[in-house]
Structure 1
Amino acid sequence: MAITGDQSFLKNINRMAMIRLIRGQPGLSRADLATNTGLTKSTVSQLVQELIDEGWLSEDDALVTGSIGRRPTPLRLNTEKLALIGADLKVGQIDVVATTLTGEVIATTQRTMDTKDVKEVMAVLAGGIAEVVRAMLAQHRTVLGVGLGVPGPVHAVSGILHFSPNFGWRDVPVRAELNTALAAAGISKLPVYVQRRAATAALGEVEFACTEVEEPLLYIHLGLSIGAGVFVSDRLLSGHGGFAGDVGNQQLKSEGTYRTAEEIVSLGAMARAAGITPQEFLARVEANDDSVQQILENAGHYLGVLIHNLWSTFDPAQVVLGGQCSRFGTHYVDMALATLNERAADGLIRPPKVSVARFGEQAVAIGATALVLHQIVRPM
């Protein structure tokens, strides 16, 4: 495919290509970048200097090579000058974090709310974001943008949340509402990006990975609800209208009848089976209470069935489990893996790698900062 556009667009593509190279191979020199990108040395030097001046890159001490001539200067992402803001929107609570370009959390805040009114929720959300933005400005950092993970399928371009059963929202222009609330909170001119919660968490696993990510990557969010994010061919799989990853509605056969995965596997489902609140269920799991063991094992078995079904559909190289339930070890996650391995053995096929999300319960908020980075470093 031929790439055409004005000079500023092409220049930005080249700049971000160098950022991605240095992120993947910290310590590359200007000469290395010229070799890897095919750009002239003078063009690379100019663009690198711009990226240093803007806070994207920093220089290490020049390497001693023993060769005659100018010593190469290693380049790395600068973690001192720029900041990414991410927010996780849940019923009753919002979490906001700021991270560096490498995913290190440098500020965080959490606010609770007892409303589901769109404008009231956006006001609470904007207040939390504004607090973290001001903390970054006080550190003399430049904020690159705000990412938001929302509980439901969203059209990423328009920022419209199609529906959210937990909030009772339908066709809400979340990005526009948040921009209005941010302006009222004194924050303006920051780009805002919106994506499903599980999809943002998937991006966190990709953009802030310590090693090369094998694709496709399938992230499954296990909380009060169930969702998934799929990263393949260097991008999120969003689907035609933003509905890709709505796996909580997958039908699983249980006790002779079909129920959705969310009705069996989620934290809400397990709490209902125990006749207690989700918070009480979490407390019993933390205390290793025997009264919830059978419920965990049953849900874990069907989680394994769900993973198997998604594996058969997407053929991922790796599966990442995140959300509150991902830390339910022996009786839940281990049971799921046992079921997955048993079904794989029946088909004489090696199952994908399965791991727990590196950012734990902050996976969505940190993933939302990765959403900002993803949009910037992949201008195509």
Structure 2
Amino acid sequence: MDTRYAIRVDLYKTDKETTRMQPDASGGQQLLKSINRMALVRHLCVHPGLSRADLALEVGLTKSTITSLVRELIAEGWLMESSVVATGDLGRRPTPLFISPDRLLMLGAEVGIDGVRVVATTLTGEVRARAVSAYGASRSAKACLGVLATVLLKVRAQLDPSQRIIGIGVGLPGGVDEARGVLNFAPNLGWHDLAVGQLLSEKLDGGPLSGIPLYLQNEADVAALGEMEFNAGAPADPLLYLSINQGVGAGVIVGDRLLTGARGFAGEIGHMILQIDGPLCSCGRRGCAEALIGMRAMLRPDEAAELGPHSLPDIRGRLVDGDR
């Protein structure tokens, strides 16, 4: 998985219809403003170079509102103005607006079975720094999250101190309760009911990443979000992203929304039983999809041919040869 997909700062979840929400009497005006700000950011991610007048027409806000919001977003580092475009029309020429390329960055992390990968990206997904680290001798949850915290700080140190990190997204190998910041179950790591959000926040406390918003989700789910948000082509809806590694999972997007299920298990297709009394799976059951088509299943010894363990080149060769 491209680790930039693990980045999920919720600035891209607003759609055009949401900008028409009516504020209520309980402080909804501030919420509406925040939604409208991110609607502009999202629209410029997809359609860079629009002027304020263009945005007013396409997003459905008044010119005065657009002017006020754009002024704030430029001051905070979200947007930037470019050279004025000559149109041939009389009057003031429109000033194109773009997402600022380097003032605001996001950190994305993938917690894998054997180690972690971390990248820093721009708001539009360009990678600015990266680091990878294997776990140490201990595979306990606290030790592995300690490695994650160290790598996050290592990537932060590669960046200019003036660059602001606005969020940290973490993709986890199992079902995630996003609202509580809890990893319900990661079968390949043996982690149960783990408060990843709290533990990681504690490890980052007091350092340069202290207090930065933290977002947790299943790794296949964030991959699906990445396909939807960063793919240059037209997004598919519904969208199904299939992840096959040591584990098998899927991210599902329907109606521009991520489908997670009540406890974050909606995409855990790797633990659907496909063969009664089949091979033993990491979750303890038999015949799951993961036990049949996951990486470990492909690399296990071929007992019939007595060839010993397979390697990925072996598997590629067999695919080319049409080996059933």
Distance 1:106 1:203 in 2: 20
Secondary structure of 2:165's match? strand
Quick check: 1:97 aligned with 2:125?
no
CA distance change for structure 1 residues 184 and 126 in 2, over 3 Å: closer, same or farther? Answer: farther
Q: Aligned-pair distance for 1:150? A: 0.6
1:123 corresponding residue in structure 2: 146
CA distance change for structure 1 residues 148 and 66 in 2, over 3 Å: closer, same or farther? Answer: same
1:336 corresponding residue in structure 2: none
Answer yes or no: is the 8 Å Cα contact 1:225–1:262 preserved in 2: yes
1:167 corresponding residue in structure 2: 189
1:281 corresponding residue in structure 2: 311
Answer yes or no: is the 8 Å Cα contact 2:182–2:194 preserved in 1: yes
Which of 100, 105, 112 is matched with 1:78 structurally? 100
Which of 180, 195, 210 is matched with 2:232 structurally? 210
The alignment yields a C-alpha RMSD, in angstroms, of: 2.5
CA distance change for structure 1 residues 122 and 256 in 2, over 3 Å: closer, same or farther? Answer: closer
CA distance change for structure 1 residues 112 and 28 in 2, over 3 Å: closer, same or farther? Answer: same
Secondary structure of 1:251's match? coil
Which of 163, 166, 171 is matched with 1:144 structurally? 166
Answer yes or no: is the 8 Å Cα contact 1:217–1:231 preserved in 2: yes
2:298 corresponding residue in structure 1: 270
Q: Aligned-pair distance for 1:255? A: 11
Which of 138, 146, 155 is matched with 1:132 structurally? 155
Query: How many residues of Structure 1 are paired with residues of Structure 2 in the alignment?
Result: 292
Any gaps of 5 or more consecutive residues in structure 2?
1-20, 280-285
Answer yes or no: is the 8 Å Cα contact 1:146–1:193 preserved in 2: yes
Q: Which letter maps to 1:225?
A: G
Q: Aligned-pair distance for 1:233? A: 1.6
Distance 1:30 1:277 in 2: 65
Query: Which structure carries more relative contact order (alpha carbon 8 Å, separation 6+)?
Result: 1
Structure 1 segment 241-260 matched on structure 2, within 5 A: 241-253=263-275, 259-260=287-288
Q: Aligned-pair distance for 1:273? A: 4.6
Q: Which letter maps to 1:259?
A: G
Normalising by structure 2, report the TM-score: 0.83
Answer yes or no: is the 8 Å Cα contact 1:251–1:261 preserved in 2: yes
1:369 corresponding residue in structure 2: none
Distance 2:190 2:51 in 1: 52
2:204 corresponding residue in structure 1: 182
Which of 205, 211, 234 is matched with 2:256 structurally? 234
Q: Aligned-pair distance for 1:91? A: 2.2
Any gaps of 5 or more consecutive residues in structure 1?
299-380
Q: Aligned-pair distance for 1:42? A: 1.8
Q: Aligned-pair distance for 1:297? A: 5.3
Answer yes or no: is the 8 Å Cα contact 1:92–1:115 preserved in 2: no
Secondary structure of 2:240's match? strand
Distance 2:302 2:35 in 1: 53
CA distance change for structure 1 residues 15 and 246 in 2, over 3 Å: closer, same or farther? Answer: same
Q: Aligned-pair distance for 1:68? A: 1.0
Secondary structure of 2:125's match? coil
Q: Which letter maps to 1:143?
A: I
2:32 corresponding residue in structure 1: 10
Q: Percent identity?
A: 41
Which of 131, 144, 161 is matched with 1:109 structurally? 131
Distance 1:157 1:2 in 2: 25
Q: Aligned-pair distance for 1:136? A: 2.5
Answer yes or no: is the 8 Å Cα contact 2:115–2:132 preserved in 1: yes
Q: Aligned-pair distance for 1:293? A: 6.7
Answer yes or no: is the 8 Å Cα contact 1:136–1:143 preserved in 2: no
Q: Which letter maps to 2:159?
A: M
Q: Aligned-pair distance for 1:100? A: 0.9
Answer yes or no: is the 8 Å Cα contact 1:56–1:78 preserved in 2: yes
Q: Aligned-pair distance for 1:102? A: 1.2
Distance 2:72 2:276 in 1: 59
Q: Aligned-pair distance for 1:206? A: 1.1
Which of 283, 289, 292 is matched with 1:261 structurally? 289
Which of 148, 167, 177 is matched with 1:155 structurally? 177
Residues 266-307 of structure 1: CA deviation (Å, up to 9, x unaligned): 1111112537998x622534xx545x878x855xxxxxxxxx
2:218 corresponding residue in structure 1: 196
CA distance change for structure 1 residues 273 and 236 in 2, over 3 Å: closer, same or farther? Answer: farther
Which of 31, 45, 50 is matched with 1:23 structurally? 45
Q: Aligned-pair distance for 1:256? A: 9.8
1:343 corresponding residue in structure 2: none
Normalising by structure 1, report the TM-score: 0.71
Answer yes or no: is the 8 Å Cα contact 1:83–1:136 preserved in 2: no
Structure with the bigger percentage of helix: 1
Answer yes or no: is the 8 Å Cα contact 1:127–1:185 preserved in 2: no
CA distance change for structure 1 residues 155 and 83 in 2, over 3 Å: closer, same or farther? Answer: same
Q: Aligned-pair distance for 1:19? A: 1.1
